Amino acid sequence: MEKIFKALNFIVVSLFLAIFFIACDNDFSTVKSDVLGEGNVNFNTGKVNLPIIAYNKKLDSLQINNLSSNLLGVFNDPVYGQTTASIITQVSPPSNGFSPNFGKNPVIDSVVLSIPYYSKAIIIDSTYTIKDSLYGSEPVHLSLYKNNYFLRDFNPNSSTNSRQNYYSKADGSINNTENFAITQNGIINFDSYKGELLKDTIYTPSNKRIVTVTFDSEGKKTRVKSPPALRFKMDKDFWTTAILDKEGQPELSNENNFKNYFRGLYFKAEANNGTGNLVLLNMASSSSAITIYYSFDASTSGERTQNTYILNLASTSTININRLNTFINTYTRPLTNGNKTIGDEKLYLKGIEGSMAVVDLFGGMVDCDGDGNLDMSALDCFKETYRVSDGNGGYKKDSSGNYILKQLINEARLVIYEDQTMINSTDHKYDRIYAYDVKNNIPTVDYLDYYDPTLNTTNPLGSKIVSLGQREPDSLKYKIRLTQHLNNILIRDSTNTKIGLVLSSNVNLTNNSEILNSGDTVTSVPSASIITPRGTILYGTNASVPENKKMKLELFFTEPK
């Protein structure tokens, strides 16, 4: 770090050499900046590496309710080991479905549960692909139970009537066969609250379209095609007793009574002969439902009339559905907290309840004045190097209260190298590294549309490619842009100097999940990282890392002549 900050004081090259350097460096790209005017030739330009410390942060007790999607199944990560994901969810009729009238002599014809996958239509032959949401291809053992544990809407320990959150307990410290969650009140074992077994099957997701055939009162057949889904028929006798026989009783009269009476479903996944598949389900879709098809006596004839009764698995504008993912991790690679002082050699990014990396942009002490002593914090040296001094131990500000800079940042980027061993993880190429502001639990300012207009809502792999660079397959390198993030620190005295790095399969999702009783500067993680099952390994900043693989914070600057 001593040599790095000496470079800050002495690296100055001519405009000609800068243009030559930029032309030869394929990594460099020009971005819009609020500190550098185009056509200005009255400056010198250069590049430095700023000191950073990157270390591992082990993740546990993560908020597992209110996720945008849910994982179900078993995934064997080639680097980290096995994860099993199960789901506990409430169900509810729509607001107009309470106090139903099923008619005279109602009889259930069939009961169908359907939860869509995330799929893409292939226009050429009218088929679908689900490869973006399916991990593995082997059958998985799936059991569906009635859940008897009541999922509360509100936290009884809260003085502000806040929502009840549920947190993961995936470490298998109790056992690695049952599913657990944590609240402020203790540990919940959902296997202790299993009700009737509603379905037991060996299941493999399919990309085939769903074709539903219905008949109207005149016997006319209608075929409706819908995208691929987890779909199976359920036992008619159970739902006759649970729903139809409750007509006119308090259990079906309103939302509160119904949720207390029928507390939901427990989708339990288990490995089948040690393997399985893991699928991402769109349980927030309005198509996620249990449909009860039934018939009853017509009032004016001896004919039967057909009807349906819907139990939604997704929230609506008037009905809230509580749902959570549970995980069981049997990792073969131990995950631990890293060294915040000297950084780690390897950084482990693993989704679900795994691990992340924290990058301290200005960690440690440096030799800022070149006297051979590490006598100033890296952050203070950064400010001293780039701000204009007021001659009284402070720095000059403009009329807007912003600090005036003597060296202007053109571009800043975090350059990250992936461990070569990840080459064998072939599907990993679909993942991205997502960077966020740890202090405020928000995306970095460089992510905002003003600075990165490359939002792609249909293809997350190609979204936000300016701020969150894609994986370069030849060099196994990522580049995360932090230009405006550093400008905020310099110009506006922002204190958000720690960046969190997680693995994400959808960088468009920016909402967060809490960490229960964190006791650390990292209090939340991006929710998308919880439902990203794969992992990767990055090179860190420890002195043992080869220079050509070490994580770097590169800064391109200009200095007025």
Q: For residues 89 and 283, is the Cβ–Cβ distance under 8 A? A: yes
Q: Which residues contact 175 (CB under 8 A, 6 or more apart)?
A: none
**Which phi-psi region, left, alpha or beta, contains residue 347 (left: φ > 0; alpha: ψ -120 to 50)?**
beta
Structure tokens at 186: 């203790």
CA 475 to each of CA 361, 465, 478, 504, 550: distance values in angstroms, whole numbers, following the listed order: 23, 17, 9, 20, 13
User: Which pTM was predicted?
Assistant: 0.88
Largest CA distance in the chain: 101
- Domain ranges in the chain are 2-59+333-560, 81-331
Q: Give the Cα separation of 481 and 465 in Å (integer).
A: 10
Structure tokens at 507: 């960088």
Within 10 A of 249 (CB to CB), how many other CB atoms are there? 11
Structure tokens at 102: 């099923």
| Residue 73: exposure state from Cβ atoms within 10 A (0-12, 13-18, ≥19) | buried
**Tens digit of pLDDT at every position of the chain (561 positions):** 444 444 444 333 333 333 333 334 444 333 333 443 344 345 567 789 999 999 999 999 999 998 999 999 999 998 899 999 999 999 999 999 999 999 999 999 999 999 999 998 876 666 899 988 899 999 999 999 999 999 999 998 887 889 999 999 999 999 999 999 999 999 999 999 999 999 999 999 999 988 887 776 667 778 888 899 999 999 999 999 999 999 999 999 999 999 999 999 999 999 999 999 999 999 999 999 999 999 999 877 778 888 999 999 999 999 999 999 999 999 999 999 999 999 999 999 999 999 999 999 998 889 988 898 988 999 999 999 999 999 999 999 999 999 999 988 999 999 999 998 776 655 666 789 999 999 999 999 999 999 999 999 988 999 999 999 999 888 889 999 999 999 999 999 998 899 999 999 999 999 999 999 998 999 999 999 999 999 999 999 999 999 999 999 999 988 766
- DSSP category for residue 388: P
